[in-house]
Structure 1
């Protein structure tokens, strides 16, 4: 059964990585997964929280960072070494099928820490701000999804890696939001 899931995952990976290949995505997707590309958004969130919510804004930022750290710790330090799945761009069986759009790196693949971290932050922020600003939901989910999709498109993760990372991130984001609301019941 594991082999059939891995085969399905590799087939779906190739349908996305090669099958959706086009010059626009070749330009866009490496940007979408680049942390520096999103720096203005991160800065906006920090400034917005502090300016709009003062002291509570610092708590929001602190909990968002805590949520991110928990996602990264669980995905990168606990699960990845235990599973030890090779990235598709380092998988010898796919060597002739990989389009090198970004450096592959030597890290492991399962789960995607990008997906875990970004879904954790997105879900945390959605839970915190949804009652005040409904567009947080579609914007947050789109943001985390495009980053996760880009990981598959550029060839550094399988679809199951990002799906599992997304589910893990959603769980961590919900727990982080619950903790924030417990510590800040007035918000």
Structure 2
């Protein structure tokens, strides 16, 4: 059963990865670059400040730093615990795929920390800002999906790596949003 799932995952990866074309490579490299999200983070910080003030913004920044730290460390634990090769290190398929990025990254890739972090941040801010900004959840969901898919497009993660990262990110984003709401209720009630 597990072997069949891995086989299907590799087939789906090759299909999705090979949909790419050189004219779209720049866009997906931009989406996968962790620094390209800084303008979005600044906008989210401004929106939080505008909606709730400086104290809540500082509390939210601390919460985001913690959720990213926890998500990254969980991803590292799984990468070295599971030791699933990244597609670009998998000799069975590496000659059949497009590696858009100049380097493949570490040897192991289960699960995608990029997908986990983007979904954790998206859910956290969606929960925090949804009462003040009507469509924030949808916009952040689209951004998180683009970041997650970029990992398949550029050739560094399998679809199951990305799906697991998305689920882990939603779990941590929801958990930290709930904890944050309790802290806010105690220390910064509106």
Fold conserved (TM > 0.5)?
yes
Structure 1 residue 51, shift from structure 2 partner: 5.0
TM-score by length of 1: 0.93
- Aligned positions, number: 185
Q: Where does residue 43 of structure 1 map in the other structure?
A: 42
Name stretches of at least 5 consecutive residues in structure 1 with no aligned partner: none
Distance 1:107 1:134, change over 3 A: farther
Q: Where does residue 65 of structure 2 map in the other structure?
A: 65
Question: What CA distance in whole angstroms lies between the structure 1 residues aligned with 2:147 and 2:176?
Answer: 21
Question: What CA distance in whole angstroms lies between the structure 1 residues aligned with 2:107 and 2:64?
Answer: 25
Verify the 8 A CA contact 2:44 2:125 in the aligned structure 1: no
After the TM superposition, which of the residue ranges 37-46 and 172-181 deviates more from structure 2? 37-46
Question: What CA distance in whole angstroms lies between the structure 2 residues aligned with 1:108 and 1:95?
Answer: 14
After the TM superposition, which of the residue ranges 7-16 and 105-114 deviates more from structure 2? 105-114
Q: Where does residue 170 of structure 2 map in the other structure?
A: 170
Name stretches of at least 5 consecutive residues in structure 2 with no aligned partner: none
Structure 1 residue 84, shift from structure 2 partner: 0.7
Q: Where does residue 32 of structure 1 map in the other structure?
A: 31
Q: Where does residue 85 of structure 2 map in the other structure?
A: 86
Question: What CA distance in whole angstroms lies between the structure 2 residues aligned with 1:41 and 1:132?
Answer: 17
Structure 1 residue 120, shift from structure 2 partner: 0.7
Q: Where does residue 135 of structure 2 map in the other structure?
A: 135
